[in-house]
Amino acid sequence: MRYADLQEALAIFGISERTTIRQIKSRHRELVKRHHPDSGEDRDHERIRLINAAYALLIEYLENYRFSFAEDEFYEQNPDERLRVQFEDVPLWGAR
């Protein structure tokens, strides 16, 4: 897999570089529903093939990617928790 392939798959799905597995699966269902050859509207067989290939590539990437459980990564993914920890001892914001 090349980085260009990954970028193309993201473009086909219309999603950004920061996304979740849940969003990818949801977007796949939406695209397949819209472009499936049996839907009657859009009979572009090449488009559904591209969608499924992009989905397979994204899922393969996610299955082989090492997730970071480091504290700084956790707080970057959860900014509300970072703020809570940062201000939990401040009487106005957190302490009772």
What tens digit of pLDDT does each residue of 17-56 get? 788 889 999 999 999 988 887 766 656 788 899 999 999 9
What phi, psi does 2 have (nearest 5°)? Answer: -105, 160
Please give the domain boundaries of the chain with CATH numbers for all domains.
3-65 (1.10.287), 67-96 (no CATH)
Q: Read off the pLDDT of each residue in 58-79 and give the average, rounded to a whole number.
A: 86
Q: Tell me the angle at which helices 3-13 and 45-64 cross, rounded to the nearest 10 degrees.
A: 120
Q: How far is CA 70 from the centre of its chain?
A: 20
Length reported for the chain: 96
Query: Which residue type does 20 have?
Result: T
Q: What is the pLDDT of residue 29?
A: 95
Q: What is the pLDDT of residue 93?
A: 66
57 contacts 1 by C-beta, under 8 angstroms = yes
What pTM was estimated for this model as a whole? 0.71
Q: What is the pLDDT of residue 5?
A: 93
Q: How far is CA 25 from the centre of its chain?
A: 8
**Res. 16 pLDDT band, cuts 50 70 90:** confident
Q: What is the pLDDT of residue 89?
A: 84
